[in-house]
Amino acid sequence: MRISRLSGAALAVAAGALIGVPAAQPALAAPGAPGAPRYSAGAAGVGDPYFPDQGNGGFDVQHYDIAFAYDPATRHMDAVTTITAVATQDLDRFNLDFRGPEISELKVDKHPAAFTRDGQELIVTPRPKLKSGQVFSVTVKYAGTPPVITDPDGSLEGWVPTDDGAFVAGEPQGAPAWFPGSDHPTDKATFTFHATVPEGITAVGNGSLVSQTTENGRTTFVWDSAEPMATYLATVTIGNFTVTESATPSGVPIYTAVDPRLVTQSASAVSKIPDIIEYFSSVFGPYPFSSTGAIIDRAPNVGYALETQTKPIFSSAPSVGTMAHELAHQWYGDSVTPTKWSDIWLNEGFATYATWLWTEHTGGATAQQTFNNSSNYGRAATSSFWQTVLADPGSVDMFGSVPYNRGAMTLHALRGKIGDTAFFKLIKDWAAENRHGNTDTAAFIRSAEKASGMDLTAFFDVWAFQKGKPASW
Ligand code: TRP
Ligand code: ZN
């Protein structure tokens, strides 16, 4: 589901990856067959500047149906994923992204299809071939142990076994560990998960719990994520969990799953979920999904949290601030998603600034005091912190302090420059106009200029595009 077609095209152009763009139809169709299909291979990636293999050309995914059984004791998965997609060119071959275990069968619609694998590329030859505009399904059957993926910065993601299940996280490249797909943030889709685990273990996915049925010592959890979701935000995290269901004051259902060993330490952060959602709804606009919650697991080798859609996942007991950060991402990151990974500050800077606002709202330091402190503008001009460009930090520093702290500082400085009225209208409109879509820094600058009526070229130049500690803006 490509909501924002324009920015998708902009990405291909920016990355110089024009292979994904269908060539103009040459006037060479066979006589008597105007518009005869011209089959070619879909592009292997969408040309992301940091992860060029991610995503695929030639089709748009609409829905993933991911069904698997997993046994934490043996770490064995038996899975069938069915992808529903629409062809965007005449295809005689296309790629999926997949790093998972051995495939025993692959079908396009009802027809067995030949396939090969090369790194994260799963190359499929559909027969019959696919015509542009055609809706088709790809069914992939696979079994084995899904891999742990190591990121450019050395951290772990993908399918990370824990002592009672698995911690499942996919930012920026872990989703293909456990399901084949089009793993770029621009190809959002709806998801249904059917996870079968030993009785007593809970499998927690994005969205709403449709059913939970136990038979012969195994429980199947069906989760439905009805709003479009980027693949990196998908999870089905598995373990021993204490589950609580409630709702926010305005009626958004809350599902929390907490490792029993972490219930006491997590109590304060969990108890704040309704207040955080209500406060952010008042500042950022309506909560963008039909449910919320949290998954608090024990995965000490992971060490970070992730804003998995509707239910952020934590690898240890979170502070209230970390809970606020991950819930803020539901607006900025999950609903409004960058078109390319180099714009990661649109996620991390916004979520960080949201926690500054939450801290002030709850009687702590003001946003201005946080801006000034030694983790932020108070850093010495000679600090290496100032030597990373906000709007292109590099894949190793995507989750380093610059997208977070310089990102939040940029928003606070912008607020000072354009005033509270324009600023808070801007960030609310930004969430509404890009709801469930993809966008980029250039679009944010245009929106900020529109909201303020000011020329902000020089402002964003010093804050977002240049190295160095901004001295005036
Ligand atoms: N996006 C996460 C957050 O800020 C952090 C994160 C995701 C991360 N993947 C990562 C941090 C990989 C380090 C490495 O909440
Ligand atoms: Zn974050």
Taking only the tens place, the pLDDT of each residue in 273-282 is: 999 999 999 9
**pLDDT of 442 higher than 70:** yes
69 neighbors 197 (Cβ within 8 angstroms):
yes
289 neighbors 227 (Cβ within 8 angstroms):
yes
Span 158-166, mean pLDDT? 98
Give the DSSP H or E segment for 270.
helix 263-271
- Residues 117, 96: Cα–Cα separation, whole Å: 10
Taking the CA of 355 as reference, the closest ligand is: 2
* pLDDT computed for residue 146 by the predictor: 98
For residue range 396-417, what is the model confidence (pLDDT) as tens digits? Answer: 999 999 999 999 999 999 999 9
pTM of the predicted structure, to 2 decimals: 0.93
* pLDDT computed for residue 1 by the predictor: 64
Which residues, at least 6 apart from 13, have a Cβ–Cβ distance to it below 8 Å? none
For residue range 165-223, what is the model confidence (pLDDT) as tens digits? Answer: 999 999 999 999 999 999 999 999 999 999 999 999 999 999 999 999 999 999 999 99
For residue range 334-390, what is the model confidence (pLDDT) as tens digits? Answer: 999 999 999 999 999 999 999 999 999 999 999 999 999 999 999 999 999 999 999
If you average pLDDT over every residue of the chain, what do you get? 94
Give 3-state DSSP helix, strand, coil % of the chain, rounded to 5: 30, 30, 40
376 neighbors 401 (Cβ within 8 angstroms):
no
Amino acid at 77: M
Query: pLDDT band for position 36 (50/70/90)?
Result: confident
* Beta strands per DSSP E along 88-207: 91-97, 102-108, 111-112, 114-118, 121-125, 135-144, 148-150, 156-161, 166-169, 189-198, 202-205
* pLDDT computed for residue 37 by the predictor: 87
Q: Which atom of ligand 1 is nearest to the CA of 171?
A: 9
* pLDDT computed for residue 9 by the predictor: 38
3-state secondary structure of 95: strand
Positive or negative: CA dihedral 402, 406, 411, 412: positive
**pLDDT of 259 higher than 70:** yes
* pLDDT computed for residue 89 by the predictor: 97
170 neighbors 234 (Cβ within 8 angstroms):
yes
**pLDDT of 33 higher than 80:** no
* pLDDT computed for residue 11 by the predictor: 42
CA nearest to 42, candidates 132, 154, 120: 132
Span 424-444, mean pLDDT? 98
For residue range 414-432, what is the model confidence (pLDDT) as tens digits? Answer: 999 999 999 999 999 999 9
What tokens does 39 get? 């089959």
Q: Is the CB of 348 under 6 A from ligand 1?
A: yes
- Residues 251, 345: Cα–Cα separation, whole Å: 31
Among 148, 171, 302, 307, name the best residue to mutate to test ligand 1's pocket (greatest count of ligand atoms within 8 A of Cβ).
171
**pLDDT of 260 higher than 80:** yes
For residue 413, how many other CB atoms are within 10 A of its CB?
18
- 4 vs 251 pLDDT, higher one: 251
Chain position carrying tokens 């995914």: 61
Query: pLDDT band for position 2 (50/70/90)?
Result: low
**pLDDT of 26 higher than 90:** no
Query: pLDDT band for position 18 (50/70/90)?
Result: very low
Backbone angles phi, psi at 425, to 5 degrees: -65, -45
Nearest CA to ligand 1 atom 3: 306
3-state secondary structure of 80: strand
Span 156-170, mean pLDDT? 98
3-state secondary structure of 433: helix
Query: pLDDT band for position 3 (50/70/90)?
Result: very low
* pLDDT computed for residue 123 by the predictor: 98
- Residues 428, 285: Cα–Cα separation, whole Å: 6
190 neighbors 152 (Cβ within 8 angstroms):
no
How many Å lie between the centroid of ligand 2 and the Cα of residue 312?
10
How many Å lie between the centroid of ligand 1 and the Cα of residue 304?
6
- Residues 20, 52: Cα–Cα separation, whole Å: 12
Q: Which atom of ligand 1 is nearest to the CA of 325?
A: 15
What tokens does 298 get? 């024990």
Percent of the chain with pLDDT over 70: 93
Q: Is the CB of 341 under 6 A from ligand 1?
A: no
